[in-house]
Amino acid sequence: MFANRFITFFLCMAFAPTAILCGCNSAPKVNEAEVSLKLRAIQTRSYDTTNTNNALRVAMATLQDLGFVIDNADADLGTVSATKLDSAATKMTITVRMRGKTQILVRANAQYRLLAVTDPIFYQQFFTAYSKSLFLEAHEVDPAAPGL
């Protein structure tokens, strides 16, 4: 009886680390999902303004509100990058570009530790805070629309 229990315990101890590694083994890969139109739509909103400089400044203010420290920004290229250090590092990049003559497109993408963030709720939370600071309503974008 004792021998049986010992064998069970031994096998559990032998397999558990393998199982933990299997659980961990979901390393991010550059796959179709990451560059899909669906993900692009999740990460993008359009706004009825043409002031890209203000949109970038509001992006920096929003990121600061959310606890990020700004790493980098470029007014000409329309990019802002920031990092939040909590229990782990979250990195975000915001890009702002013109869409036609009356709108801008704002795209956010994030990584948490070594993982690309694909959860729509994460981006919804960002754009809710961003829209409040911009005093403008966000429009969801059609992933099939030209120019997106």
Partner 1 sequence: MAHLSFFKHIASIGLVCALAGLIGCASNTVPPDALLMKEPTTEIRQRQARRYATTDEKQVIIAAAQLLQDLGFNVDNSEKDLGLLVVSKDRSAVDGGQVAGQIAVAVIFGVRVPVDKEQKIRASVVTSLSADHKAIDVRVTFQRIVWDDRGQLSKLERLDDPEMYQDFYIKLSKALFLEAQEVG
Binding site for partner 1 (CB under 8 A): 4, 7-8, 11-12, 15-26, 53, 56-57, 60-61, 64-76, 80, 82-90, 112-113, 115, 117, 119, 121-122, 125-126, 129
CB of 120 to partner 1, least distance (A): 11
Residue 65, beta-bridge partner list: none
CB of 7 to partner 1, least distance (A): 7
CB of 57 to partner 1, least distance (A): 5
Strands (E), the chain: 44-47, 69-74, 79-85, 89-99, 103-112, 115-116, 139-140
Shorter beta-carbon distance to partner 1: residue 36 or 124: 124
CB of 13 to partner 1, least distance (A): 8
Q: DSSP of 49-81, one letter per residue?
A: ---HHHHHHHHHHHHHHTT-EEEEEETTTTEEE
Shorter beta-carbon distance to partner 1: residue 37 or 69: 69
